[in-house]
Amino acid sequence: MADSQDLTRRGLMFILSSPSGAGKTTIARKLLAVEDELSMSVSVTTRPQREGEVEGRDYFFKTPDEYAALVAEDAFLEWAEVFGNSYGTPRAEIMDGLALGQDFLFDVDWQGAQQLSQRARADVVSVFLLPPSMEELEHRLRSRGTDDEAVIQGRMARASDEISHWDAYDYVVINRDLEECFDKVRTILHAERLKRERQRGLIDFARELMR
Ligand code: 5GP
């Protein structure tokens, strides 16, 4: 007899986007630390491995030829050229994981979010984080203390462009306070896991209840 304990669910693709400095990386780290069923999607890249990066954890590092072969066999859910290097999201890892109830976190820009939504709409949940104001965004970028003036100005210009795509997302959260923002993003994840279409076995379970 079906039991609600036995119900498995299909995983989801949780996309977090924001302009640089709006808190995306911090929120992503906090989510990964507390959500066992959520893991970061690991991309393939042709960019050289940086010191401290681990193969399979940060990226799968490939030569341009290996990468081209993967594109040819349609192995990517989405891909992009960024700063002269190629990046792609491996389709098989994600699809196998989703079927097992694994959720994946994607830290991608609006173009990545758009491609993923087009290719896997039913599995995608997209969240856009907005800064409370452009002054606050600039303040946060400066207080990192890692970038020089030209880089900060470049990031501010790109932030404006990124923000213009806010209305393509399923959810928008304004990051006024980190903890409050984190709670809201986590609530979205928890609610989306309960979506009827993601709960496999519900039809049989409900039939059993109605017998
Ligand atoms: P980095 O080389 O510094 O790790 O990443 C450079 C840029 O590539 C970042 O903006 C990052 O979000 C983007 N990126 C990394 N992996 C992927 C991917 O699989 N697809 C897309 N579209 N962008 C990616």
Model confidence pLDDT, tens digit, residues 9-23: 999 999 999 988 888
Q: Which domain holds residue 200?
A: 7-210
For residue 200, tell me if it sits in a domain. yes
Q: Could you tell me the distance, in angstroms and rounded to a whole number, from the CA of residue 69 to the centre of ligand 1? A: 19
The verdict on residue 163 lying in a domain is yes
On average, the pLDDT of the chain sits at 92
Q: How many A from CA of 137 to the centre of ligand 1?
A: 21
Q: How far apart are CA 38 and CA 88, in angstroms?
A: 20
CA–centroid distance, 129 to ligand 1, in Å, is 18
Task: Quote the number of domains for the chain.
Answer: 1
Question: Does residue 1 fall inside a structural domain?
Answer: no
Domain presence at residue 2 = no
Spacing, Cα 15 to ligand 1 middle (Å): 13
Residue pLDDT, tens place only, 85-122: 999 999 999 999 999 999 999 988 888 899 999 999 99
Ligand 1 binding site (Cβ under 6 Å of any ligand atom):
43, 47, 78, 80, 82, 87-89, 107-108, 112
| Angstrom distance (rounded) from CA 152 to CA 183 | 29
Q: Which residue's alpha carbon is nearest to atom 17 within ligand 1? A: 87
| Any domain includes 24 | yes
Tell me: pLDDT of 50 over 80. Answer: yes
